[in-house]
Amino acid sequence: MSMSVICRWATRPAKWLDRVRLNPDGAVTIVTGASSGIGRCLCEMLSDRGATVVAVARRRERLEELRQRATVGKIIPVAGDITDGGVRESIIDVAANVRGGAVDLLVNNAGVGAIGPFADASPARLREVMEVNFFAPAELTRIAIKHLARSPAAVIANISSVLGHRAVPNKSEYCASKFAMHGWSDSLRAELAPRGIQVTLVSPSTTDSEFFDALVHTGADQTSSSIGSWTPDRVARAAMAAILARRSEVILSLGGKALVYADRIAPPIMNAILKQK
């Protein structure tokens, strides 16, 4: 990039810097992976603050329980698998019909995990993890952008992982999906800034949720060690704070930060440590 281009970019009016922050009261929001864990907590927090939440998950009965709980805002359940293009279109249609086509917040939270040596895994494991954790949220975001652009304070919040910053053994498919989300989020943030849409990347470490009860293509003997476990409520509160502050990125938990920053400072040492695992 030439110096003249950099100078023009630096001196042009940066209208997106003056964007107002999201006010949950009356906001139209979408949360995937809403039936449990972080997603459920975010739905409750948003609806408690007066938002209309399009809550997306595969378990219809869980969504109905969530809908009945709402007392201030409104929860609209959409039961389905986000890897289905038709379901993604339905999600956006439902949200767009709430307030004249505008969507204020999209939270890409749905995800799956897998544990075990890559060499021993089936091709189906890699494809399923990438489809749920990256391709589906990316495609959902693509069709949501024109509606987010109608909001004066739009935010896309991608719930990722510290393993999207530093990969570890026996979680190669999951790490790959989260690295993809990290890179995509960084690129998308720059693309959408002139349209006033903020992209926030939230990177928790281990969360005490049902996530590890539903690992895909993973043997019962495979386990995962913790690097600073948080409750879903705590992660959701940190994510909400980052969304409202229009943060670009947050890394949660001391253990998660230690992993990421140690790798940035001394990657050879981290590589040596992880080889011993």
Of 161, 174, 209, 257, which one is the catalytic site residue?
Answer: 174
Please report where in the chains the tokens 């890394």 appear, as a residue.
251
What are the phi and psi torsion angles at 21 (to 5°)?
A: -85, 155
171 tagged catalytic = no
Q: Is 58 exposed, middle or buried (0-12, 13-18, 19+ CB in 10 A)?
A: middle
Among 65, 155, 147, CA closest to 108: 155
Out of 178, 205, 209, 253, pick the active-site residue: 178
Angle, CA 169 vertex, CA 166 and CA 173 arms, to 5°:
80
253 by Cβ neighbours in 10 Å (0-12 / 13-18 / 19+) ranks as buried
What's CA 152's distance to the chain center, in Å? Answer: 21
Specify whether 178 is catalytic: yes
Instruction: Look at residues 58, 81, 57, 55 and name the one whose alpha carbon lies nearest to residue 68.
Output: 55
Task: Give SS3 for 214.
Answer: coil
Question: 134: which DSSP letter?
Answer: I
Contacts of 84 by beta carbon, 8 Å cutoff, 6+ apart: none
Amino acid sitting at position 190: A
H/E stretch holding 161 reads: none
Q: Give, as one character, the DSSP assignment of residue 133.
A: I
d(CA 20, CA 22): 7
User: Which one from 35, 47, 160, 209 is the annotated catalytic residue?
Assistant: 160
The Cβ of residue 89 has, within 10 Å, a number of other Cβ atoms equal to 13
Residues involved in catalysis: 160, 174, 178
